[in-house]
Chains A and B, each alone.
Chain A
Amino acid sequence: MSELDMARQLPITLDINKFMRKSRRGTIKTSTKSKSDFAIKMTLFVLLFLTVYGFATFDYKNVDIAKAVTGTWNNAKVLFGQPRLTYGTWREMLKELFVTFSLGALSTIFGAIIAFFGALLCAKNIANPIVANITKGFVAFIRAVPTILWVLIFTISAGLGSVAAVIGLTFHSAGYLIKAYAESIEEVDAGTIEALKASGASFWQIVFQALLPSSISRMTAWTFLRFEINFTNALAVGAAAGVGGIGFDLYMAGNHYFDLRELGFITYIVVAAVILLEVLATKIKSTVK
Chain B
Amino acid sequence: MPILLEFKNVSKIYNNVTKALTDVSFSVEEGEFVAIIGPSGSGKSTILRCINRLVDVTQGSVFFDGHDINQADKKEIRQVRKKVGMIFQHYNLVDRLSVIENVLHGRLGYKSAISGVVGHYTEEEKERAFQILAMLGLTEEAYKRCDELSGGQKQRVGIARSLMQEPRLLLCDEPIASLDPSSAKIIMDYLRDINETMGITCVANLHQVDVAMRYAKRIIGITAGQIVFDGPSDKLTRTKIYKIYESNEGELITDVG
Do the two chains belong together in a single complex? yes
User: Which residues of A come within 8 Å of B, CB atoms?
Assistant: 14, 16, 19-21, 27-32, 34, 36-37
Q: Which 7 A-B pairs have the closest CB atoms?
A: A28-B126, A19-B139, A16-B130, A32-B98, A32-B143, A16-B134, A30-B100
B132: nearest chain-A partner, CB-CB: A16
| Dominant secondary structure at the B interface | helix
Q: Are A16 and B104 closer than 8 Å at their CB atoms?
A: no
Chain B window 130-144, contacts with chain A (Cβ cutoff 8 Å), 1 for yes, 0 for no: 110110000110111
Q: Are A28 and B140 closer than 8 Å at their CB atoms?
A: no
**B32 lies within 8 A of chain A by Cβ:** no
Kindly state the separation between the CA atoms of A30 and B142 in the bound complex, as whole angstroms.
8
- Inside 8 A of B127's CB, which chain A residues have their CB? 16, 28
- Inside 8 A of B97's CB, which chain A residues have their CB? 31
Minimum distance in angstroms from A34 CB to a CB of chain B: 6
Kindly state the separation between the CA atoms of A28 and B98 in the bound complex, as whole angstroms.
13
- Inside 8 A of A21's CB, which chain B residues have their CB? 143
Q: Are B139 and A16 closer than 8 Å at their CB atoms?
A: yes
**B121 lies within 8 A of chain A by Cβ:** yes
User: Which residues of B come within 8 Å of A, CB atoms?
Assistant: 96-98, 100-101, 104, 119, 121, 123, 126-127, 130-131, 133-134, 139-140, 142-145
- Inside 8 A of A34's CB, which chain B residues have their CB? 96, 145
- Inside 8 A of A20's CB, which chain B residues have their CB? 126, 130, 142
Q: List 15 A-B contacts (CB under 8 A).
A: A16-B127, A16-B130, A16-B133, A16-B139, A20-B130, A20-B142, A28-B123, A28-B127, A28-B130, A30-B98, A30-B104, A31-B98, A34-B96, A34-B145, A36-B96
Kindly state the separation between the CA atoms of A16 and B130 in the bound complex, as whole angstroms.
6
Minimum distance in angstroms from B143 CB to a CB of chain A: 5
Q: Are B130 and A30 closer than 8 Å at their CB atoms?
A: no
Q: Are B143 and A27 closer than 8 Å at their CB atoms?
A: no
Q: Are A32 and B131 closer than 8 Å at their CB atoms?
A: no
Q: Are B139 and A14 closer than 8 Å at their CB atoms?
A: yes
User: Given contacts A28-B123, A28-B126, is CB(A14)–CB(B100) below 8 Å?
Assistant: no
Kindly state the separation between the CA atoms of A14 and B104 in the bound complex, as whole angstroms.
21
A34: nearest chain-B partner, CB-CB: B145
Q: Are B96 and A37 closer than 8 Å at their CB atoms?
A: yes
Cross-interface CB contact of B121 among A14, A16, A30, A32, cutoff 8 Å:
A30
Kindly state the separation between the CA atoms of A32 and B102 in the bound complex, as whole angstroms.
12
A-B contacts besides A28-B126, A28-B130, A32-B98, 6 pairs, CB < 8 Å: A14-B134, A19-B142, A20-B130, A27-B123, A30-B104, A30-B126
B138: nearest chain-A partner, CB-CB: A19
Minimum distance in angstroms from B122 CB to a CB of chain A: 10
Kindly state the separation between the CA atoms of A19 and B143 in the bound complex, as whole angstroms.
9
Kindly state the separation between the CA atoms of A28 and B125 in the bound complex, as whole angstroms.
10
B143: nearest chain-A partner, CB-CB: A32
Minimum distance in angstroms from A85 CB to a CB of chain B: 43
Minimum distance in angstroms from B121 CB to a CB of chain A: 7
Kindly state the separation between the CA atoms of A28 and B104 in the bound complex, as whole angstroms.
12
- Inside 8 A of B96's CB, which chain A residues have their CB? 34, 36-37
Q: Are A19 and B130 closer than 8 Å at their CB atoms?
A: yes
Minimum distance in angstroms from B138 CB to a CB of chain A: 10
Minimum distance in angstroms from A99 CB to a CB of chain B: 44
Kindly state the separation between the CA atoms of A132 and B131 in the bound complex, as whole angstroms.
54
B130: nearest chain-A partner, CB-CB: A16
Cross-interface CB contact of B131 among A16, A31, A37, cutoff 8 Å:
A16
Kindly state the separation between the CA atoms of A34 and B119 in the bound complex, as whole angstroms.
18
